[in-house]
Amino acid sequence: EGSKLDCQVHIGHGVVIGKNCLLAGQVGVGGKTVIEDNVVLYGQVGVIQRVRIGRDAVVLAGAGVSKSLEGGKVYFGAPASEAPTKYREIAALRHLPEFFKNYYR
């Protein structure tokens, strides 16, 4: 009820989609997955089978969901993890060349 599915969305067999969800273009959801109410899956998100995505969760574009996700949080990346943590990891990668340059002196 109230959920919106964009074009080129694939929903596997036995998937349960809650109320007021938004699934953007090119999202793929594996069979027997449960998507609770008010979940947003941005474009090109892939979800494996038999996982649960909690109420009010947001999964940002291009993420790969390989395990169940808690509700009320924002997720990013492949494999999907909480966005603030993933952004810190990506930011830290920029410092690796300098770290190794100083480390191997």
Segment 58-104, tens digit of pLDDT: 999 999 999 999 999 999 999 999 999 999 999 999 988 888 888 88
Q: Give tens-digit pLDDT for 9-55.
A: 999 999 999 999 999 999 999 999 999 999 999 999 999 999 999 99
Q: Which one of 1, 13, 91, 98 is the catalytic residue?
A: 13
Residue ranges of the domains in the chain?
4-103
Asked whether the CA dihedral 85, 18, 61, 79 is positive or negative, the reply is positive
**Residue for token digits 């609770």?**
36
- The model's pTM is 0.89
| pLDDT given at position 103 | 83
User: With contact defined as beta carbons under 8 Å apart, do 35 and 17 qualify?
Assistant: yes
Neighbouring-strand partners of residue 40: 22, 58
Instruction: Confirm or reject CATH 2.160.10.10 for domain 4-103, answering yes or no.
Output: yes
**95 included as an active-site residue:** no
